[in-house]
């Protein structure tokens, strides 16, 4: 760490294309982490990632209990049988537990995370094509979103020396 890094990352451009808790939060933690290190940061939400920036959807993100072989029983550590996932309300309960655990670790809800990110100069964008597909209007997005971009505009924004694009 103390060795001087000749090629430091100066800018990261993170694309979040999926909308589960872990997808959205991976992008948020990496994005906020970059801002905290003084790295310029753009966070771009597309496809199901829109779940994280549409006001009426972003309050309670969910995680998948079906089709998620890494899901384990809390406290027991054994794998959760896939068929349990069909129990009504189980997904909401598991998702609620995950949100609670994150809150205990001082990981904020999405809107508050956006506040921290934008306060530090990080920028948040939405994808135009995905918005058209999901029939979302700009006024339905969180107030922290600074614009709706086409893919070309995203690449333009991402340019520069020491800049990286990360697709989560």
Partner 1 sequence: MATKNYAGVTVDVNEEGYFTDPGQWTKEVAAEIAKEEGIDLTDKHLEVLDYLRTKFISGEALSIRGINKSGVVDVKTFYQLFPGAPLKKSTKIAGIPKPSSCV
Looking at the DSSP bridge assignments, the partners of residue 72 are 79
Residue 118, both tokens: 């934008």
Which string of x and - marks every residue 41-80 that binds partner 1 (by CB under 8 A)? Answer: ----------------------------------------
Using CB under 8 A, which of 9, 36, 93, 133 touches partner 1? 36
Residue with tokens 């609620």: 96
Neighbouring C-alpha atoms within 13 Å toward the C-beta of 2: 0
Nearest-angstrom CA–CA distance, 156 and 129: 17
Residue with tokens 């979040």: 16
Q: How far is the CB of 14 from partner 1 (least distance, A)?
A: 15
Stretch that binds partner 1, among 64-72, 86-94, 117-125, 129-137 (CB under 8 A): 117-125
Q: How far is the CB of 53 from partner 1 (least distance, A)?
A: 19
By CB neighbour count within 10 A (0-12 exposed, 13-18 middle, 19+ buried), where does 131 fall?
Answer: buried
Using CB under 8 A, which of 104, 106, 139, 161 touches partner 1? 106
Would you tell me which residues interact with partner 1 (CB under 8 A)?
1-2, 29, 32-33, 36-38, 105-108, 112, 115-116, 119-121
């Amino acid at each position: 760490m103390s060795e001087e890094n000749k090629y430091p990352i100066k800018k990261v451009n993170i694309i979040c294309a999926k909308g589960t808790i872990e997808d959205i939060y991976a992008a948020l933690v990496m994005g906020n982490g970059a801002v905290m290190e003084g790295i310029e940061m753009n966070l771009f939400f597309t496809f199901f990632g829109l779940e994280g920036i549409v006001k009426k959807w972003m309050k309670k993100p969910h995680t998948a209990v079906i089709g998620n072989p890494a899901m384990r029983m809390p406290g027991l550590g054994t794998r959760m049988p896939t068929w349990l996932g069909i129990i009504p309300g189980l997904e909401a309960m598991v998702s609620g537990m995950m949100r609670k655990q994150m809150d205990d670790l001082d990981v904020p809800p999405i809107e508050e995370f956006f506040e921290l990110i934008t306060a530090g100069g990080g920028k948040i964008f939405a994808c135009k094509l995905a918005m058209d597909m999901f029939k979302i209007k700009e006024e339905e997005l969180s107030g922290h979103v600074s614009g709706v971009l086409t893919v070309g505009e995203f690449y333009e924004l991402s340019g520069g020396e020491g800049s990286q694009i990360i697709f989560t």
